[in-house]
Structure 1
Amino acid sequence: MYDNFSGDFEAFSNSWWPYFIAMFIGIISAIRFYVGGAQCPKSHRMDGKIVIITGGASGLGFETAKNLAARGAHVVLAVRNEERGKRAQKELKKLYTNASIDVKLLDISSVASIRSFAHDIQTSYPKVDVLINNAAVIYQPFIKTPEGNELTLATNYLGPFLLTHLLLPLLNKSLNGRIINVSAMAHYSGKLRLDDLNMEKDYNEKDAFSQSKLALTIFTKYLATLLDNTRIHCNSVSPGLVRGTNHLENLPLQRSLWTKVSVWPWMWLFLKNPIQGCQSIVYLAVEPNLSNISGYYFSDCEIKEPADPVKDATLAQALYDRTSDMVNIAGRRIIEELKAKESQHAVNESGDNEDNF
């Protein structure tokens, strides 16, 4: 029996099969390595930094929270489901015993919830160092929020727009406030319907998502120009195509067991996992060399060229004004007041220095 096994093994080892198997494993490994993208350096610490992550209970948000908690950040999980938020908090505390992890309720699609959340943050924390607008939905049927806005637009764009403005005063109290808007590769195919942002005339699930991410990316670049000469910087980022997130639950391919089983091997091979997907988000939050970089679009920890509409200043201004009306906030006035306070603070400091001299 041993002789038979030995003979079979010798025949196998002398054949081409070991080379084919090794080559197959090598190709798979190379694809996974390439798809994984760039990794954020692990050395940068975030001790004493307060970071808010919307959608922080699962997927990209949770992996981002985990990474930042490991670096010493005080992480605030802004979640729609309190039970899931508490579960995420418990898991993070188990991993990092001394981590500061808070859970706050937020429905980013609801104007009322956003205003309530912002008030809670303003009364609970002395500053906000990093705001990560991560929460998003995809492939939703046409649903209107209580305020009358289409759900995908409200969640992916209008909500982050409003929340960002409400937290600007706290972000300005940080020495280097950072706003990170999680966009998507889909923004390249987006078409902005400025006269019908809610897509009431001709709704399409895919178009609604790509438009919302395009709008968010346009907003990011325009906000950076408005915040020029302040301590706040904002950038957008695409995590790439990521599996293991709630997004995939709503894809057409996921609506039957057969297609789920059929596409899973390809998704495993060609899509990032959440740990890989969060790397560029974390990079924007922790990289010291980005302290004065604002208005850019990142992917794989590098600046990339965004879609052409993002660079259209006239379109950006029109979108900004239209959005301000939709969420009922005077965005420009908030920024002007913030700049005026900063200028007055600089004058007072200058006067104090002269007196000391």
Structure 2
Amino acid sequence: MQVVIDYLSESVLWPVTLLVIPPWSFVWWVAIGVTVWIVNRLRYPRCRDQSKMIGKTVIVTGGNKGIGLETARELVARGATVIIACRSLVRGNAAKDDILKKLKGNANGGTVEVSYLDVSCMASVRKFASAFQGRKIDVLLNNAAVADLPQQLTDEGLELTVATNHLGPFLLTHLLMPNLKKAGGRVINVSSTGHHWIKKASELDLEGDLKFEFSRPLRTLEIYVVSKLMNVFFTMELHRKLKGTGVTTNCLHPGVVNTDIFDPMVSHVWYGFFIRLYVWAYAKTKSEGAQTSILLAASDDLKNVSGKYFVDCKESSPSPLSQDEGIAKKLWEISERLVKLQPHERTI
């Protein structure tokens, strides 16, 4: 495979593009884009593990669209009961119908349930989790996320991006931990390679209750990448706290994926066009972006693996900052306070 990639990217198309077609030509840029697209289709790995999930129950937050939907689709095909947790029941039921329609003829296929969840609202998280009391959960995939939203506070006084990407999953994991312990289950947190961009603990705003009410203007995506670093901190601290329980936890970077998470960015007048070009040429398809989530949820070979960070279906290295246990513990304590974790909810 690598020989093919090298042949396409180095031996044939690039020389033709760069030497034969004038660089100021529109065709030149199209040729570059097509070359990159072809190379990436060959380069991005697929989950080769074929482990079945018959009889297992999986919760996928944000499973009605994007990589969440593609992950749900594959896990149902492997026999799992997948609960799509999302804000739009209309879209959730449409996703359910689509999955089941394409599943016809698969005798070992599972089924789909849809349940309302606004992961940015702690009251909604509590209501959602209460419906699963006593039910075994094999996998909790904290997949739902937002990016590049205007800085704002929720009705509960939490910064919206942080509430959606970190605090909601943090609380949901606590509330469902008894269910996960019944199954010796897995917690999977979808992070981002963007967490490497954060170099200093001060950027997490631990002293300001994660509200990012700085006097300076915030850079584009700043809160998003910080929240993705929080996902890694949460995973590593959760791993330490879960030792001996039979429950594992890992996090992942799905890659740059062509989903509607880019919609707020492409709407910007001056750089939206370039974001579209970048996404078209470099981004994975939704199915490609789901591969690492599928591997971590399904693979029998990974049932005892915990506290790791994965990229492109293999273990990778998270940022050095994310390995600071002191920061992880402090973030945990602040998160407990912000979600108003009650004594009976301290399940970890």
Q: TM-score, normalised by structure 2?
A: 0.83
**Aligned match of 1:104:** 115
**Aligned match of 1:247:** 261
CA distance in 1, matches of 2:65, 2:330: 34
Change (3 A) 1:307 1:60: same
Q: Where do residues 141-152 of structure 1 align in structure 2 (5 Å cutoff)?
A: 141-152=150-161
Displacement of 1:60: 0.9
User: Conserved in 2, the CA contact under 8 Å of 1:226 and 1:335?
Assistant: no
- SS in structure 1 of the partner of residue 82 of structure 2: strand
User: Quick one: percent identity of the two aligned structures?
Assistant: 36
- Residues 277-326 of structure 1 deviation map (CA, whole Å, 9 limit, x = unaligned): 01001110111111111111111111111112211111111111111011
2:89 corresponds to which of 64, 82, 86? 82
CA distance in 2, matches of 1:39, 1:61: 16
**Aligned match of 1:300:** 312
- The one-letter code sitting in structure 2 at the alignment partner of 1:250 is P
Q: Where do residues 1-357 of structure 1 align in structure 2 (5 Å cutoff)?
A: 20=16, 28-34=37-43, 37-41=44-48, 43-97=50-104, 99-122=110-133, 126-174=135-183, 176-190=184-198, 191-196=203-208, 197-202=210-215, 204=218, 205-243=220-258, 245-251=259-265, 253-256=266-269, 264-329=276-341, 334-335=346-347
CA distance in 1, matches of 2:65, 2:77: 17
CA distance in 1, matches of 2:262, 2:125: 25
**Aligned pair count?**
311
- Residues 155-190 of structure 1 deviation map (CA, whole Å, 9 limit, x = unaligned): 00000000000000000000x300000001111113
Change (3 A) 1:178 1:118: same
CA distance in 2, matches of 1:149, 1:262: 32
CA distance in 1, matches of 2:275, 2:330: 41
- The one-letter code sitting in structure 2 at the alignment partner of 1:282 is I
Q: After alignment, is 267-276 or 129-138 more displaced? A: 267-276
Flag the structure with larger Rg: 1
Unpaired runs of at least 5, structure 1: 1-15, 337-357
Displacement of 1:99: 3.4
Displacement of 1:47: 0.6
- SS in structure 2 of the partner of residue 179 of structure 1: strand
User: Conserved in 1, the CA contact under 8 Å of 2:78 and 2:110?
Assistant: no
Displacement of 1:20: 4.4
- SS in structure 2 of the partner of residue 122 of structure 1: coil
Unpaired runs of at least 5, structure 2: 1-11, 21-30
CA distance in 1, matches of 2:345, 2:179: 16
Displacement of 1:92: 0.8
- SS in structure 2 of the partner of residue 255 of structure 1: coil
Change (3 A) 1:215 1:331: farther
- SS in structure 2 of the partner of residue 209 of structure 1: helix
- SS in structure 2 of the partner of residue 236 of structure 1: strand
Change (3 A) 1:158 1:53: same
Displacement of 1:266: 3.9
Change (3 A) 1:28 1:226: closer
CA distance in 1, matches of 2:40, 2:180: 40
Change (3 A) 1:268 1:333: closer
Displacement of 1:216: 1.3
- SS in structure 2 of the partner of residue 173 of structure 1: helix
**Aligned match of 1:342:** none
